[in-house]
Amino acid sequence: MSSVIWYLYEFARKSFFEGVTDAKSKHDIVEKPDRFRDFPEVLKEYCIACGACTQSCPSPHAIKLVRDGDNDDGEGQTYPVINTRACIRCGFCAEVCPTEPKTLLCGENHLIREEFNIIPSKRQYTVDDFLCIKCKKCIKSCPVDGAIIERDNKIAVDQSKCISCGNCLEACPVKGAMKGVFIDNLEDQKAIIRLVVNTLEEFIESKEDELQSLPSEKLLKLQLPLSKIWDKALQILPDEEVALEVIENATDRLKIRIITWDESKCEKCRLCVDECPTGAITYSPDENKVERDSDKCLRCSNCYQTCPFSVVKYFIAKFLLDEVDGEKVILITLKESQLANR
Amino acid sequence: MILPIGPIHPGLKEPLRLKLHTQGEKVLKAEIDYGYVHRGIEKIMEGKTWQKCIYLAERVCGICSYEHTQTFAETIEKISDVRAPVRAQLLRVITNELDRIQSHFLANSTYFKAIEHETLFMYVLSLREHAMDAIELLTGNRVNMGWNVVGGVRMDAKNIHLDAILEKISLIEKDLDRYTEIFSEGPLVGLRSKDVGKMTREEALKGRAVGPIGRASGLKHDLREQHHTYRDYLDFDPIWRKEGDNYARTMNRFDEVAQSIDLIRQAIDVLPDGDIRTKVDIGSGYAEWRNEAPRGEVAYMIETNGNLIKHISIRTPSIMNIDSCAKFMLKDVATVSDAVATYASADPCIACAERVAIIDVDKGETSKDIYNLK
């Protein structure tokens, strides 16, 4: 009987009615530990749009750089946006963020000293229209909206929006179609290219005897160690990465034409003298001799096509920078022109 | 009659199909089908830097995630021919043992659920919370900690963290003996577990069983013995039993928890001051490294070119344990419910096991049965 009274008393209490009328669930106050890594917090105003966070993120589509619209005052602000559905809360973006103070805060990760840092690059990215196959892989790989655009059936990079992350260069399936050009020291880069071309020409001309004895349809393969150019190139531009890439790009696209002259076969018919557009080939009646001034020669191959006695031989040289036995060398392949079979 | 259990079933933690060949209530033998949670993590890792891969390696296993990052980091350290500072090595030991404690508690509580002892299930799970709290205090997160890097650990442990860990493990130790006694001395619980799902030493060797499952069957094999940190700084002797039944497996795990608590105390005692991380120039090449995860041996085989991961292959312990469970433990079991309990006692982790397949190139066949190799 007494239990029933206590039971009724429980209902009669004021707190019971308060509980029924003001029924609200209270929030638990849960304290986060100091080092808890939540989703990264973005502080827009410090962002320099370097793309280090998008580069470092291990989860696809978790972080993306967006850019507010431009107005009269200036450029719009670029800043990262976290997609919380894809983010795995690793905090790596906060660790690599190079700004001071950090744009991204995540647990204690933004306090960690940086070991792996992606800094803005010195390159400018451009598309070679001649080689581009319009596969649009660069557009898909680009982390910034509208940095690579398709206009008039051409792919182009909008330099004002590009953050120089280099994703497009990795995505491009055609070698040379997307170029990452170093924009500093352009004159020095030209000097290096000139040095490379001159050294290669001298090297090939020193092997003229081998070229003369080369049977047609055979290739002549030569090697020039890079160390012969390397020291001089570093004197011009003391940046190993840039110098190596300039040499590599130069040798990739380079073709050198070589013309050799076999005096013993010449019958002094003088057909080539009239054909030569620069007057490099002359005939001296006193000595009864046809002479060629190689400094004036344009290597147009007119004399080669005219000569009925195959005095002239015409070669095309191609190059490749490669590593042989742990040493970088320029591989040279020389081939007689196919015009001989006319 | 063939009784299928799973792939989605309340008795199983993770998706897997268990086919029990029964005669009446008696289970004669069992087959296991995999293939429901294959995620292709190894393929995703190819062509990425280690900084990204270490976060992905953490997600291979959902429970013992820590050991994967440590093994990954130590493999790359072996390629680069460096070793983490001593303080970092010992911090790794502390986190590793805390992870082992929570994993063993989870495995045991799942076993208690399988034998319908819900009291112990809740008791042990609530005890596990202390271990999880300690991990959270030290590393910041409970499961995917992001704590290891190549060349050391990410954050330093301060004195307040170490004190908190000592306090937490003393809380665990206070109740551990009592709960172990409830299991080992309780007449019904013991009866339910002794001589059920028995695997002899020869069968364990044949099935390549590793970890507590192998050690409960008499294989005295623990990779922590060979690890340089344990060998140089800590006093360690593996725990093993002879019986090879469900009781031995569960008790082996309880005993290893007590040993882990001892190892954490030793590690905090000898913890020196100094750096927690060295800068590593990643070398190029190939290396293998093996470590003792809570479930057994984890092996990483990595080939790098100095920057990117060219090829990676991960071997996790669960695949051997689950297969030896199907072949040797689930054989002449008295009832179906005992079969489910035996399966739970093998501590299966399906998510990390989904990576083995034997391909016969000549016939063009693929099979997942590693025991019928010719």
pLDDT tens, position by position, for chain B (374 residues)? 899 987 888 877 788 888 899 999 999 988 888 778 888 888 888 878 888 888 888 888 888 889 999 999 999 999 999 999 999 999 999 999 999 999 999 999 999 998 888 999 999 999 999 999 999 888 888 888 888 888 888 888 889 889 999 999 999 999 999 999 889 888 888 778 888 888 999 999 988 899 999 999 998 989 999 899 999 999 989 999 998 899 999 999 999 999 999 999 999 999 999 988 888 888 888 999 999 999 999 999 998 877 778 888 888 888 888 888 888 888 888 888 888 899 888 888 888 777 666 677 788 777 666 556 55
Question: Which residue from B minimizes the CA distance to A55?
Answer: B52
> Which pLDDT belongs to residue B370?
58
Q: Count how many domains chain A has.
A: 3
Of A37, A89, A115, the CB nearest to B279: A115
Task: Report how far residue B350's alpha carbon sits from residue A60's, in angstroms, rounded to the nearest whole number.
Answer: 25
Chain A, 96 to 125: residues with Cβ < 8 Å from chain B are: 107-109, 112, 115-116
Which residue type sits at A54? T
Q: Do A58 and B56 touch (CB under 8 A)?
A: yes
* CB contacts, 8 Å: A56 with chain B: 51-52
Q: Is residue A24 situated within a structural domain?
A: no
Is ipTM > 0.95 here?
A: no
Q: Beta partners for B4?
A: B19
Q: How far is B272 from chain A (nearest CA, A)?
A: 21
> Which pLDDT belongs to residue A116?
45
Q: Do B48 and A37 touch (CB under 8 A)?
A: no
> Which pLDDT belongs to residue B357?
64
Task: Report how far residue B93's alpha carbon sits from residue B67's, in angstroms, rounded to the nearest whole number.
Answer: 10
Give the H or E element holding residue B71.
helix B65-80
Range of A177's domain? Answer: 123-182
Q: Is residue A341 situated within a structural domain?
A: no
Question: Do A85 and A161 belong to one domain?
Answer: no
Question: Do A288 and A203 belong to one domain?
Answer: yes
Question: Do A166 and A191 belong to one domain?
Answer: no
Name the residue among A280, A276, A277, A317 with its Cα closest to residue A295. Answer: A280
CB A314 within 8 A of CB A245: no
The SS3 of residue B187 is helix
Helices within B207-360 (DSSP H only): 211-216, 228-233, 246-270, 318-324, 336-345, 350-353
Q: Is residue A160 situated within a structural domain?
A: yes
DSSP state, residue B276? S
Question: Do A215 and A263 belong to one domain?
Answer: yes
Task: Report how far residue A138's alpha carbon sits from residue A168's, in angstroms, rounded to the nearest whole number.
Answer: 4
- Number of inter-chain CB pairs under 8 A, A vs B: 51
Task: Say whether the peptide bond before residue A60 is cis (omega within 30 degrees of 0).
Answer: no
Cβ neighbours of residue B167 closer than 8 Å, sequence gap 6 or more:
none
CB B16 within 8 A of CB B38: no
Residues of B at the A interface (Cβ-Cβ below 8 Å)? 48-49, 51-53, 55-56, 59, 136-141, 144, 146, 149, 151, 154-155, 277, 279
- All structural domains of chain B with their residue ranges: 2-366
Q: Is residue A327 situated within a structural domain?
A: yes
CB B84 within 8 A of CB B307: no
Taking the alpha carbons at both ends of chain B, their separation in whole angstroms is 29
Q: Do A58 and B137 touch (CB under 8 A)?
A: no
Question: Do A206 and A297 belong to one domain?
Answer: yes
CB A66 within 8 A of CB B169: no
Give the H or E element holding residue B315.
strand B309-315
* Fold held by B2-366: Cytochrome-c3 Hydrogenase; chain B (1.10.645)
Find which of B49, B55, B58 to mutate to test the A interface (most A CBs within 10 Å of its CB): B55
Question: Do A36 and A104 belong to one domain?
Answer: yes
Question: Do A239 and A307 belong to one domain?
Answer: yes
Cβ neighbours of residue B229 closer than 8 Å, sequence gap 6 or more:
B89, B90, B92, B93
Question: Do A270 and A323 belong to one domain?
Answer: yes
Question: Do A50 and A166 belong to one domain?
Answer: no
Task: Report how far residue B199's alpha carbon sits from residue B242's, in angstroms, rounded to the nearest whole number.
Answer: 10
Question: Do A274 and A326 belong to one domain?
Answer: yes
Name the residue among A337, A320, A85, A118 with its Cα closest to residue A226. Answer: A320
**Domain boundary, last residue among A133, A153, A182:** A182
Q: Is residue A203 situated within a structural domain?
A: yes
Angle at A94 between CA A88 and CA A95, to 5 degrees: 105
Rounded to 5 degrees, φ, ψ at A283 are: -120, 125
Q: Do A56 and B52 touch (CB under 8 A)?
A: yes
Secondary structure E strands in chain A: 41-42, 63-67, 78-82, 104-105, 123-127, 148-151, 154-157, 178-182, 219-225, 255-261, 281-284, 289-292, 312-324, 327-336
Q: How far does Cα B315 stand from its chain's mean position?
A: 12
pLDDT tens-place string over residues B14-40: 888 888 999 999 999 888 887 788 888
Q: Is residue A107 situated within a structural domain?
A: yes
Question: Do A192 and A332 belong to one domain?
Answer: yes
Q: Per-residue confidence of chain A (342 residues) as pLDDT tens digits? A: 778 888 888 788 877 777 777 777 777 667 777 788 888 999 988 887 777 788 778 887 888 888 887 777 766 788 899 998 988 888 888 888 877 788 888 887 777 655 544 444 567 788 888 888 888 888 888 877 777 888 888 888 877 666 677 788 888 888 878 888 877 677 888 888 888 888 888 888 888 888 877 777 788 888 888 888 888 888 888 888 888 888 888 888 788 888 888 888 888 888 888 888 888 888 888 888 888 888 888 888 888 888 888 888 888 888 888 888 888 888 888 888 776 554
Q: Is residue A11 situated within a structural domain?
A: no
> Which pLDDT belongs to residue B369?
61
Q: Do A108 and B136 touch (CB under 8 A)?
A: no
The SS3 of residue B285 is strand
**Domain boundary, last residue among A166, A182, A198:** A182
**Domain boundary, last residue among A114, A139, A173:** A114
Of B59, B137, B144, the CB nearest to A33: B137
CA Rg value for chain B: 21
Task: Report how far residue A83's alpha carbon sits from residue A89's, in angstroms, rounded to the nearest whole number.
Answer: 11
Query: Helices A2-12 and A14-21, interaxial angle, to 10°?
Result: 50
CATH number at residue A325: 3.30.70.20
The SS3 of residue B374 is coil
Question: Do A92 and A164 belong to one domain?
Answer: no
CB B196 within 8 A of CB B333: yes
Question: Which residue from B minimizes the CA distance to A38?
Answer: B141
Which residue type sits at A183? I
A80–B contact, CB cutoff 8 A: no
Of B49, B141, B149, the CB nearest to A37: B141
Find which of B53, B69, B76, B139 to mutate to test the A interface (most A CBs within 10 Å of its CB): B139
Q: Do B155 and A56 touch (CB under 8 A)?
A: no
